[in-house]
Amino acid sequence: MASVAALRPDPMTRPASLLRRLAAPAIARGRAFARDERGVTAIEFAILGLPFFTVIFAILETAMMFFASQVLDSAVEDASRMIRTGQAQTAGYGIGDFRTLMCGYTFNLFSDCSAIKIKVVVISNFSSANTNPTVQDCTETTCDWTLTETYASGAGRDVVQVSAFYRWPLLVVLPYFNLKNQPDNYRLLSATRVFRNEPF
């Protein structure tokens, strides 16, 4: 027959048992939370959203930059036709008139057309064309224009070089995705045409 002392609960097990009973609801909720799959999509989206949208914006940035470069190139081509055919000379165009003409071909893509730098010069022959001129002086933080804008459309049969430059602002500039070629988050776009004027 068991003694009375043996039937009494051990006082050391009583706090552990009480603690288990108090923690049981929290443990049960924790296990239910671990098994619950509601909200998984939101968590995955939160993890993958930033890189996904970064890639999307990078694609859009690249497309817009190349589109702007193509528009500038096309505008120089179309405006230069007026010089090549002698219409600009007959109408007495100056650099402001030529800039206005060229900006009309940009479809308002460039926010400030006066920021397009233009150089129209007569050169001795086609081999004298400078297709990679130095137009800016850049430091570690910014660039200053060193290009002197000129407009000399020449006479009939003259060889003319028309160049245009624009600083395109970039919105997405990341260490692993960087289209800038200027220190202040801009990309310098340029377009050049070299041609011989018609014998007008």
What's the pLDDT band for 14 if we cut at 50, 70, 90? low
Cα separation, 94 vs 154, in Å, equals 12
Within the chain, residue ranges assigned H as helices are 4-7, 13-35, 40-84, 87-90, 95-103
What pLDDT sits at residue 63?
A: 94
Residue-wise pLDDT tens digits, 68-78: 999 999 999 99
What's the pLDDT band for 23 if we cut at 50, 70, 90? confident
What pLDDT sits at residue 199?
A: 94
CA angle 37, 39, 42 (to 5 degrees): 135
Q: What global pTM score does this model have?
A: 0.77
| Range in 12-16, 47-51, 105-109, 152-156 the model is least confident about | 12-16
User: Tokens representing 196?
Assistant: 């011989």
Q: Is the pLDDT of residue 161 over 80?
A: yes
HSE-CB of 97 using CA atoms within 13 angstroms: 14
Quick one: what percent of the chain has pLDDT higher than 90?
56
What pLDDT sits at residue 198?
A: 96
What pLDDT sits at residue 6?
A: 55
Dihedral of the CA atoms 103, 104, 108, 111 (nearest 10)? 20
Asked if residues 163 and 190 have their Cβ atoms less than 8 Å apart, the reply is yes
What pLDDT sits at residue 54?
A: 85
Q: Is the pLDDT of residue 38 over 60?
A: yes
If 0-12 CB within 10 Å is exposed, 13-18 middle and 19+ buried, where does residue 110 land?
buried
Residue-wise pLDDT tens digits, 39-56: 778 888 888 988 888 889
